[in-house]
Amino acid sequence: MYYGYFNGTIAPTDKLAVGITDLGLLRGYGLFDYFLTYNGRPFQWDWYWERFQNSASRMHLPLPLDKDATYSILMNLIERSVEAGAPEDVAFRFVMTGGYAPDSISIVKPNLLILTEEIHPTPLIQYEQGIKVILDEYVREMAEVKSVDYKRVILMAQAIKSAGASDLLFQKGGEISELSRSNFFIIKGDKLITPNRNILHGITRRTVMQLAQTDFEIEERPVLLSELYDAEEAFTTSSTKKVLPITQIGDLTVGDGHAGPKSAFLLERFNELVKNW
Amino acid sequence: MYYGYFNGTIAPTDKLAVGITDLGLLRGYGLFDYFLTYNGRPFQWDWYWERFQNSASRMHLPLPLDKDATYSILMNLIERSVEAGAPEDVAFRFVMTGGYAPDSISIVKPNLLILTEEIHPTPLIQYEQGIKVILDEYVREMAEVKSVDYKRVILMAQAIKSAGASDLLFQKGGEISELSRSNFFIIKGDKLITPNRNILHGITRRTVMQLAQTDFEIEERPVLLSELYDAEEAFTTSSTKKVLPITQIGDLTVGDGHAGPKSAFLLERFNELVKNW
């Protein structure tokens, strides 16, 4: 059983509910974050908290808790969940909305929800074979804020499935930004290249760039669709995907079509880091 | 006391709550609609239902109820609310989300919420003096679908207040679309002009155009910012605003700066229609 926190109350997640005047529900006004624990400790907590704070500030939502109080809640939730039979490591989901609005439009006080969830690891076969994504002409509004606006990928679910793909790769006017919930990298020789605009600045992206810096020349810059043609490898990063090879982008086969050695090298580095977290 | 319906259950609205795996809450995936009753009867029900159906279809959400069943629920909710002390006329709010998602991303079955609410009439002084709006370079994503995406106006709340304004007027590249939750019209001589792109096709907009057709030449077409300079009058339409004069747009005074006679004429026509609804 998994436990969650909602505005001061801790309870099993299936017992938590949100009143119907919530501005997340009525107006899509909310932000979220998501991260895992390793060895029972929240991974990159400092960075996640910093991002959550920034997102909240950009959306004019005052944080009801400070960093230490939030960390205590995380520890409390892990403890209760583990006591109730959950494994040592969990995923945390933060959702903070504009709160209850009697007039259905004005912010009074945010609602903050912190959930523990089961981790769903990416299937091994996807690491071995790489995934397919399809291109979508789209840019997420306020991409740098981790808002709850994920309409696009839900809207496109059938198109993704029909193409035998796993996700969307967003581009606009020929410039690539990100996948629907993860970042994008290409490798050419010793160059590791990743878009720097219209993206969410992923914590796994940041971690991977840090891990790569001794072996790669890192370029954070606009990346054009045309650059995919001579990319040796491509991969996506997120907390659950880690470093996941992309071998097919629409009709284009990336490199030789196999999950490449350089992505595998970075994944290994990442796995070492989290093993000792 | 006001009553609401949620997935088959009818209860006072303050007793209704939504579980925390709802895709509206987690992913901003939801749509809504809003309309009033006059003389106890839902105003333009046929048109609202048609629009709700279209929005649902565009967002790939199967409707859990048909038109007749929904109408019965509306009547039931009015009856209960009136018995519990509510006035004869209420506002209805529909919210339909992607439903509960165990994996936090896939649609299984939508959640449908139908609420009765107190009507908050627009203050008389706003009809007499007209309102001020400020320009905002923005287009709502999938503007023609009444989704719950109203982030922008909440984000801009402080800017609106600082300017002493009531709302935003969206424009992009010099082309006007709509206010944050209502449509936009200008009047020049006997011409009634309203944008036809990147807008929600409002039911009040449609009603006003129908009421205006004997006295005005109606132009539904792209409207440029430059056309505001020689507009005699401007107004906005929505179910609660009806026909509400706009006398100031950013630094620009519309016409002579007073609520004009032609807007007043259309408001009168509208009030006559609803009086006998």
Pairing, β A217-220 against β A191-194? parallel
List the beta bridge partners of residue A183. Answer: A237
Distance CA B207, CA B269 (A): 10
Q: Which residue of A has its CA nearest to B167?
A: A105
Chain A residues lying within 8 Å of B106, measured CB to CB: 154, 157
| Residue pairs between chains A and B whose CB atoms are closer than 8 Å | 129
Nearest to B17 among A18, A32, A120 (CB): A18
Nearest CA in chain B to A25: B25
From residue A94, alpha-carbon distances to A7, A246, B75 in Å are 12, 28, 39
CA distance A72 to A83: 16
User: Are residue B186 and residue B237 in the same domain, yes or no?
Assistant: yes
Tally the C-alpha atoms within 13 A of residue B80's C-alpha that lie toward its C-beta. Answer: 18
Q: What residues make up the domain containing A79? A: 3-117
Looking at chain B, list the stretches that DSSP marks H as alpha helix, in order from N- to C-terminal side: 23-27, 45-58, 67-83, 124-129, 151-155, 157-162, 203-212, 261-275
- Contact assessment for residue B233 and residue B256, using Cβ atoms and an 8 Å cutoff: no
Name which of B95, B98, B157 is nearest A106 (Cβ-Cβ).
B157
Q: Which of A9, A13, A27, A170 to mutate: most B Cβ within 10 Å?
A: A27
B162 and B262 in a common domain: yes
Final residue in a domain of this structure, among A64, A84, A117: A117
B38: burial class by Cβ within 10 Å (0-12, 13-18, 19+)?
A: middle
Residue of B nearest to A120 (CA): B103
State the DSSP string of B236-272. Answer: EEETTTEEEEEEEETTEEPTTSS--HHHHHHHHHHHH
- Cβ–Cβ gap B105/A155 under 8 Å: no
Compute how many other C-beta atoms are within 10 angstroms of the C-beta atom of residue B191.
13
How high is the pLDDT of residue A147?
Answer: 87
- Please tell me the distance from the alpha carbon of residue B265 to that of residue A258, in angstroms, as a whole number: 70
Given B117, B146, B165, the domain boundary residue is B117
CB atoms within 10 A of CB A71: 14
Concatenate the DSSP letters of all residues of chain A into one string: --EEEETTEEEEGGG-EEETTBHHHHH--EEEEEEEEETTEETTHHHHHHHHHHHHHHTT---SS-HHHHHHHHHHHHHHHHHTT--S--EEEEEEE--B-TTSS--SS-EEEEEEE---PPPHHHHHH-EEEEEEE---TTTTS-BS--HHHHHTHHHHHHTT-SEEEEEETTEEEEESSSEEEEEETTEEEE--SSS---HHHHHHHHHHTTTSEEEES-EEGGGGTT-SEEEEEETTTEEEEEEEETTEEPTTSS--HHHHHHHHHHHHHHHT-
Kindly compute the dihedral angle of the four CA atoms of residues B83, B84, B89, B90, in this order, to the nearest 10 degrees: -140
CA B210, distance to chain mean position in Å, is: 17
Strand partners, A32: A95
Task: Check A97 against B25: CB less than 8 A apart.
Answer: yes
Q: Encoding tokens for residue B79?
A: 């009856």
Select from A13, A20, A113 the Cβ nearest to the Cβ of B113. Answer: A20
Question: What CATH code is carried by the domain that includes residue B169?
Answer: 3.20.10.10
User: Residue B23: closest CA among chain A residues belongs to which residue?
Assistant: A25
| Co-location of A21 and A129 in the same domain | no
Do B159 and B89 belong together in one domain? no
Query: Is A135 in the same domain as A243?
Result: yes
* C-alpha distance from A191 to closest chain B C-alpha (Å): 34
Closest by Cβ to B25, choosing from A24, A120, A142: A24
Chain A residue numbers with beta carbons less than 8 Å from the beta carbon of B111 are none
**Closest Cβ–Cβ partner in A14, A25, A149 for B95:** A25
Same domain, A113 and A156: no
Which of A65, A93, A117 is at the close of a domain? Answer: A117
How far off is chain A from B17, nearest CA to CA, in Å?
Answer: 4
pLDDT value for A29: 96
Residues of chain B with pLDDT under 70: none
Q: B45: Cβ–Cβ under 8 A, 6 or more apart, which residues? A: B35, B71, B74
Find how far residue B199's CA is from the centre of its chain.
Answer: 11
Do residue B109 and residue B82 come from a single domain?
Answer: yes
Best CA proximity match to A135, nearest among A167, A89, A88: A167
pLDDT (0 to 100) of residue B146: 87
- Does the distance separating the beta carbons of A6 and B20 come in below 8 Å? yes
Cβ distance B151 to A158 less than 8 Å, yes or no, reads no
Does B29 contact A154 at a Cβ distance shorter than 8 Å?
A: yes
Region A16-28 average pLDDT? 95
Identify the H or E element spanning B171: strand B167-172
Nearest to A185 by CA among A154, A146, A219, A151: A219
**ipTM of this complex:** 0.93
Residue A261 Cα, gap to closest chain B Cα (Å): 31
Which residue, B118, B127, B151, B153, is CA-closest to B34? B118
Residue of chain B whose Cα is closest to the Cα of A138: B141
Cβ distance of A26 and B6 shorter than 8 Å: no
A104 and A134 part of one domain: no
Place of tokens 């490199």: A255
| Cβ atoms of residues A138 and A170 within 8 Å | yes
Q: Which residues sit opposite A30 in a β-bridge?
A: A97
Specify the CATH number for the domain of residue A101.
3.30.470.10
Q: Taking CA B11 as the corner, what is the angle to CA B9 and CA B17, rounded to the nearest 5 degrees?
A: 80
A203-249: per-residue pLDDT in tens? 999 999 999 999 999 999 999 999 999 999 999 999 999 999 999 99
pLDDT band at A71 (very low <50, low <70, confident <90, very high): very high
Collapsing DSSP states into helix, strand and coil, what is residue B167?
A: strand
Residue B29 · residue A151 · CB < 8 Å = yes
Question: Are both B152 and B250 inside the same structural domain?
Answer: yes
Please state, in angstroms and rounded to a whole number, the distance separating the CA atoms of residues B25 and B29: 8
**Between chains, do B24 and A28 touch, taking CB under 8 Å as contact?**
yes
Long-range contacts of range A212-216, CB-CB < 8 Å, 24 or more positions apart?
A212/A266, A212/A269, A215/A190, A215/A265, A216/A187, A216/A190, A216/A191, A216/A192
Contact check, Cβ <8 Å, A20/B18:
yes
The rounded radius of gyration (Å) of the Cα atoms in chain A is 19
Q: What is the pLDDT of residues A75-119, one digit of tens each?
A: 999 999 999 999 999 999 999 999 999 899 999 999 999 999 999
Residue B158, Cβ density class (10 Å: 0-12 exposed, 13-18 middle, ≥19 buried): exposed
Q: Are residues B134 and B232 in the same domain?
A: yes
Q: What is the pLDDT of residue A154?
A: 95
Number of domains in chain B: 2
What stretch of H or E contains B120?
A: none
Domain check: are B161 and B221 in the same one?
yes
Residue B92: which of B55, B62, B56, B48 has the closest Cα? Answer: B48
CA B118 to chain centre: 16
B156 vs chain A: nearest CA distance in angstroms? 9
- Percent pLDDT > 70 in chain A is 100
In a shared domain, residues B210 and B74: no
How far is residue A189's CA from residue B23's CA, in Å, rounded to a whole number?
Answer: 41
Q: Are B215 and B190 in contact (CB under 8 A)?
A: yes
Whether residues B157 and A18 touch (CB distance < 8 A) is answered with no
Record: contact A27-B154, CB cut-off 8 A: yes
Instruction: Provide the token pair at A30.
Output: 């909310």
d(CA A44, CA B149): 31
Q: What average pLDDT does the segment A33-61 reach?
A: 96
Report whether A177 contacts A171 (CB < 8 A): yes
